[in-house]
């Protein structure tokens, strides 16, 4: 489980074929903080550490870890993030006793959205997104949503004629600086995870209607 609070932005160093795609990611975190078998959310995708080390590619002091990404995961997430040089928002799994600073995030991406517009609002930026129609019922004003692994609050939401949901969030300067959200431009694709509580509530309502 995660909280959507990013600890650093890593970078894809290499991708190799081990049946699945083995993705090597640069990290500034101490190797003592990264365990083989541990879960790390990479731009919202929960992945398992299978290797780690320092000095990747002959660069002394460059810390790294590797994860295996299945073809299904690549198909269901933003494809450009699985390329050498791509930045990834990183968050280790929540430990017992740690602060739940954002909201409950599973690391299971529900769909891919699109940046529709970006508007400056003071020092912050309002970003409008388009979410797939199948996710529209789960997105509500003042509710939580995870975008590329970042826990955010929905400000407004409206239904489009094609069934998609158009919703907006505000990104403060700090979040822009410490995540990949500051580099977004209209047309960019993003990983979306709906609030797990909204998912359960929709299921309960569906079951109640069938009873």
CATH code of the domain containing 191:
2.40.30.20
Q: Is 105 part of any domain?
A: no
The pLDDT, as a whole number, for residue 95 is 82
Same domain, 202 and 134: yes
Cβ atoms 2, 106 nearer than 8 A = yes
Q: Is 98 part of any domain?
A: no
Q: Is 104 part of any domain?
A: no
Same domain, 132 and 86: no
Over the stretch 159-180, which tens digit does the pLDDT of each residue have?
999 999 999 999 999 999 999 9
Same domain, 73 and 136: no
The pLDDT, as a whole number, for residue 61 is 65
**What angle (nearest 5°) sits at the alpha carbon of residue 78, between those of residues 81 and 129?**
120
The least confident of 14-28, 79-93, 111-125, 137-151 is 14-28
Same domain, 26 and 115: no
The pLDDT, as a whole number, for residue 74 is 94
Q: Is 106 part of any domain?
A: no
Q: How many structural domains are present in the chain? A: 2
Question: Which bin fits 58, alpha (ψ -120 to 50), beta or left (φ > 0)?
Answer: left
Q: Give the pTM.
A: 0.92
Domain range enclosing 14: 8-92
Among 36, 59, 92, give the residue marking a domain's end.
92
């Amino acid at each position: 489980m995660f909280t959507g609070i990013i600890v650093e932005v890593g970078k894809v160093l290499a991708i190799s074929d081990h049946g699945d795609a083995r993705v090597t990611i640069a990290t500034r975190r101490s190797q003592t903080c990264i365990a083989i078998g541990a879960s790390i959310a990479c731009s919202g995708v929960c992945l398992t550490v299978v290797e780690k080390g320092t000095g990747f590619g002959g660069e002394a002091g460059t810390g790294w870890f590797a994860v295996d990404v299945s073809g299904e995961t690549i198909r269901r997430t933003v494809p450009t993030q699985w390329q050498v040089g791509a930045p990834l928002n990183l968050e280790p799994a929540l430990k017992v006793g740690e602060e739940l600073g954002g909201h409950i995030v599973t690391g299971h991406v529900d769909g891919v959205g699109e940046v529709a517009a970006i508007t400056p609002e003071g020092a912050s930026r309002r970003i409008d997104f388009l979410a797939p129609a199948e996710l529209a019922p789960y997105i509500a004003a003042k509710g939580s949503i995870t975008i590329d692994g970042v826990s955010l609050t929905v400000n407004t939401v409206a239904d489009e004629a094609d069934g998609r949901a158009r919703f907006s969030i505000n990104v403060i300067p700090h979040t822009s600086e410490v995540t990949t959200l500051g580099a977004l431009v209209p047309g960019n694709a993003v990983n979306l995870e709906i609030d797990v509580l909204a998912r359960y509530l929709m299921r309960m309502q569906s079951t109640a209607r069938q009873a």
